[in-house]
């Protein structure tokens, strides 16, 4: 397959890939290898092959995690070309040659060989004319697109369905306990990063779809401020809430990825309002970041188990985190309640906005396709498609599409819509996070990730072995022994730089991630040593 490198035209280069491997240091364990470690002396060809082998071991075989929908048939060729380019001209960026897995709602050019379907058979073989804005940035930085991750179909906007299920990908499950809930909707992105099926991954979030899988899968997730990362070429839910962000094993890797995918994009005009230039978020990685900072705990509602439905253990482990944050030099202001706390939980306005936006925007998506083999050209067609192909789209336990039907019943952005949108902004920002930050003179808020939060999440701990197992769907359970729990830092718009610093200080002090590993069968065995010299 032909491949054109951005800014350089090398087609097929017969390059033996072992040349970069230095024998002085042993290659890192791919379960945990960070982007800087991968950069330190190996070739892209080597770790791309190794990640493919690891996917093969656990995706449809063994524990059948179903985290990946497709792998990129052009990846190895791209890796060779990027290795060659690095040798001659040096590195384009810290992501040069690094494999990145994309959630299946993030478009890639079809000639490369992959579909973009949001997990739905209705879009199989469809062609969106371009790479997504974030993918253009990744490619310009020299990253390799490793494949597409499974997700909750339509980013969980189809109906009342278990997280991590899609028609095309089946049920994604968590690597920390058999059949545990991976959360969603960026389920495959979270699972794949958690056990080293990729170097890093991207997910998308409309409401907790990055932070929740980050939490359940023991990885770092950043839900950026709306408008920091482009949504152009991302199968939409709502332009008023959708964002794209990284899911990685460390805060360092998350900062590297965010620094590259953030930035203005003429194809998503919300990104034109962001502060310029994009910060180098890796400069925020300072273990002293919490010294003298004030962190607030919005206890009312958000730490009330009756309302959040959280297992009591979440509060226990969160209390320990507050002590750690104090040891790191932060002042904890507790409680620091959101004036709008009860309104946020009671409000249905988010649903009003999303239902109306989705219909408008998904119809635009269908219209933008240059190939559309199933002729699904509207939301109404999509609903009919699911009914027509129940074996593909309505298997036992996964039949609901009530959200699509609810959205189809709407008739466009009317007065109710704009009132609801204004109400959301008021309650979430002005009378919500921003009010609490101002009233208590805070640098950020801190909460356990399970519940209602969105923004950077870092590993906090794991459910104990005696936790009461609950149901999360026809084939998934939650909580479950050893399933991870994350800690979230929340801030005002454009405060990613500070939040990354806080998350880094906490991560480096606690190093929670490796305190418990995935269950044995879910840990792939292939290592770099197995592919070197092949
Ligand atoms: C999409 O998936 C189908 C079936 O797996 C495959 O034949 C095709 O090459 C893929 N890519 C595109 C762009 O259709
Ligand atoms: C973005 O562009 C659309 C038209 O393409 C326009 O309706 C909308 O108001 C613009 N939004 C912003 C934030 O500039
Ligand atoms: C880290 O932060 C501390 C406290 O703000 C500061 O004194 C120090 O210079 C910073 N270190 C680096 C490497 O930026
Ligand atoms: C938690 O929420 C429940 C239900 O709304 C309420 O009855 C209870 O008083 C709340 N608890 C606290 C400590 O606020
Ligand atoms: C939606 O927002 C309006 C304000 O525009 C508010 O009065 C109303 O209670 C909200 N509706 C729901 C269902 O929460
Ligand atoms: C889609 O429409 C084309 C052109 O009308 C037709 O040839 C094709 O059979 C249709 N595909 C399906 C799956 O109905
Ligand atoms: C706007 O659309 C929504 C969803 O269809 C509907 O519930 C609401 O009544 C409409 N509002 C007005 C003012 O027509
Ligand atoms: C689980 O075990 C811990 C000790 O490891 C104990 O403190 C806790 O009460 C137990 N919880 C349940 C639900 O049995
Ligand atoms: C890469 C990979 O394993 N993809 C699989 C995802 O799941 C579907 C459905 O089982 C398979 O057809 C793909 O091969």
**Catalytic residue at 103?**
yes
SS (H, E, C) 425-447: HHHHHHHHHHHHHHHCCCCEEEE
Q: pLDDT tens across 130-160, in order? A: 999 999 999 999 999 999 999 999 999 999 9
pLDDT over 80 (residue 13): no
Q: Which of 185, 230, 407, 488 is catalytic?
A: 185
Atom of ligand 8 nearest to the CA of 468: 13
Buried residues in 412-437 as b, exposed as e (16+ CB within 10 A)? eeeeebeebbebbeebbeebbbebbb
Distance 508 CA to ligand 3 centre (A): 15
Closest CA to 35 of 260, 299, 228, 319: 260
Q: What is the pLDDT of residues 58-79, one digit of tens each?
A: 999 999 999 999 999 999 999 9
Q: Is 110 in the pocket of ligand 1 (CB under 6 A)?
A: yes
Ligand 6 pocket, CB under 6 A? 374-375
Average pLDDT of span 160-175: 98
Backbone dihedral region of 377: left (phi > 0), alpha (psi from -120 to 50 degrees) or beta? alpha
Q: Which atom of ligand 8 is nearest to the CA of 466?
A: 1
d(CA 208, CA 206): 7
Q: What is the mean pLDDT of residues 474-490?
A: 96
Is residue 456 pLDDT above 80, yes or no? no
Nearest CA to ligand 2 atom 8: 269
What is residue 517's predicted lDDT score, i.e. its pLDDT? 98
Closest to 225 in 3D by CA, of 493, 498, 500, 503 = 493
CA distance 57 to 75: 18
CA 489 to CA 164: how far, in whole Å? 24
| Ligand positioned closest to the Cα atom of 305 | 4
Ligand with an atom nearest the CA of residue 150: 9
- 218/13: higher pLDDT: 218
Q: Ligand 2 pocket, 269 CB below 6 A?
A: yes
Say if ligand 9 is within 6 A of residue 104 CB: no
Position in ligand 6 atom list of the atom nearest CA 372:
1
Q: Please choose from 230, 266, 269 the residue to mutate so as to test ligand 2's pocket, defined by most ligand atoms within 8 A of CB.
A: 269
Work out which ligand 2 atom sits closest to the CA atom of 270. Answer: 13
As a whole number of angstroms, the distance between CA 99 and CA 189 comes to 13
Q: Which domains does the chain have, with CATH numbers?
A: 2-530 (3.90.1300.10)
The CA 373 to ligand 6 mean position distance, Å, reads 7
| H-helix or E-strand spanning residue 102 | strand 99-103
Catalytic residue (one of 122, 152, 209, 215): 209
pTM: 0.94
Instruction: Please count the other Cβ atoms lying within 10 Å of the Cβ belonging to residue 277.
Output: 9
Cβ of residue 307 lying under 6 Å from some atom of ligand 4: yes
Query: Please, which pLDDT band fits residue 383 given cuts at 50, 70 and 90?
Result: very high
Least confident of 331-345, 351-365, 394-408: 331-345
- Residue 374, both tokens: 């199933």
185 included as an active-site residue: yes
pLDDT score for 44: 85
Q: How confident is the model at residue 289 (pLDDT cuts 50, 70, 90)?
A: very high
Ligand 3 pocket (Cβ < 6 Å) reads: 286, 288, 291
Predicted local distance difference test score (pLDDT) of residue 453: 64
Instruction: Clarify whether 509 is annotated catalytic.
Output: no
- Please indicate whether residue 427 or residue 285 has the higher confidence score (pLDDT): 285
* Alpha-carbon dihedral sign for residues 395, 104, 48, 194: negative
- Which sign does the torsion angle of CA 110, 113, 118, 122 carry? positive
If you count them, how many residues does the chain have?
534
* Cα of 525 from ligand 4 centre, angstroms: 47
Mutate-to-test residue for ligand 8 from 314, 466, 467, highest number of ligand atoms within 8 A of CB: 466
For residues 272 and 160, give the distance between their C-alpha atoms in angstroms, rounded to a whole number.
35
Neighbouring CB atoms inside 10 A of 89's CB total 10
Confidence of residue 40 (pLDDT cuts 50, 70, 90): confident
**Atom 7 in ligand 3: residue holding the nearest Cα:** 288
């Amino acid at each position: 397959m032909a491949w054109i490198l951005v800014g350089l035209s090398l087609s097929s280069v017969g390059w033996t890939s072992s040349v970069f491997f230095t024998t002085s240091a042993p290659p890192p364990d791919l379960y945990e290898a960070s982007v800087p470690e991968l950069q330190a002396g190996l070739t892209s060809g080597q770790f791309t092959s190794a990640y493919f082998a690891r996917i093969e071991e656990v995706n449809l075989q063994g524990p059948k995690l179903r985290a990946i929908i497709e792998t990129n048939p052009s990846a190895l060729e791209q890796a060779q070309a990027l290795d060659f380019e690095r040798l001659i001209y040096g590195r384009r960026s810290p992501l040069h040659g690094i494999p990145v897995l994309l959630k299946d709602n993030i478009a890639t050019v079809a000639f490369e060989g992959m579909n973009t379907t949001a997990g739905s058979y209705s879009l199989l073989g469809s062609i969106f004319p371009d790479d997504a804005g974030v993918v253009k940035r990744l490619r310009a930085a020299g990253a390799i697109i490793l494949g597409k991750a499974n997700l909750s179909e339509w980013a969980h906007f189809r109906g009342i369905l278990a997280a991590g299920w899609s028609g095309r990908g089946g049920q994604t499950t968590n690597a920390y306990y058999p059949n545990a809930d991976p959360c969603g909707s960026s389920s495959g992105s979270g699972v794949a990063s958690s056990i080293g099926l990729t170097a890093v991954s991207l997910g998308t979030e409309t409401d907790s779809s990055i932070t929740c899988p980050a939490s359940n899968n023991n990885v770092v997730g950043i839900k950026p401020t709306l408008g920091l990362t482009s949504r152009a070429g991302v199968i939409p839910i709502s332009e008023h809430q959708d964002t794209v962000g990284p899911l990685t094993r460390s805060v360092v890797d998350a900062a590297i990825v965010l620094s590259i995918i953030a930035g203005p994009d003429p194809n998503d005009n919300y990104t034109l309002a962001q502060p310029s230039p994009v910060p180098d978020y890796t400069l925020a990685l300072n273990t002293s970041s919490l010294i003298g900072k004030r962190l607030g705990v919005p206890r009312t509602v958000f730490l009330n188990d009756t309302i959040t439905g959280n297992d009591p253990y979440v509060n226990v482990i969160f209390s320990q985190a507050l002590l750690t944050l104090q040891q790191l030099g932060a002042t904890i202001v507790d409680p620091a309640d959101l004036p709008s706390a009860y309104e946020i939980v009671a409000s249905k306005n988010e649903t009003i906005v999303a239902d109306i936006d989705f219909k408008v925007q998904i119809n635009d998506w269908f219209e933008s396709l240059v190939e559309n083999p199933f002729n699904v050209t509207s939301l109404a067609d999509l609903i009919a498609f699911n009914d027509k192909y129940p074996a593909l789209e309505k298997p036992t336990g996964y039949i609901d599409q009530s959200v699509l039907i609810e959205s189809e019943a709407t008739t466009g952005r009317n007065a109710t819509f704009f009132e609801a949108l204004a109400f959301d902004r008021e309650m979430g920002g002005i009378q919500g996070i921003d009010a609490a930050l101002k009233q208590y003179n805070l640098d950020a808020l801190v909460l356990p990730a399970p519940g209602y939060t969105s923004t950077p999440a870092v590993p906090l701990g794991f459910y104990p072995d005696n936790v009461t197992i609950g149901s999360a769907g026809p084939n998934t359970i939650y909580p479950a022994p050893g399933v991870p729990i994350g800690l979230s830092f929340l801030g005002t718009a454009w405060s990613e730089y500070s939040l990354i610093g806080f998350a880094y200080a906490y991560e480096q002090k606690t190093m929670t991630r490796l305190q418990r590993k995935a269950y044995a069968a879910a840990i792939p065995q292939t290592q770099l040593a197995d592919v070197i010299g092949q």
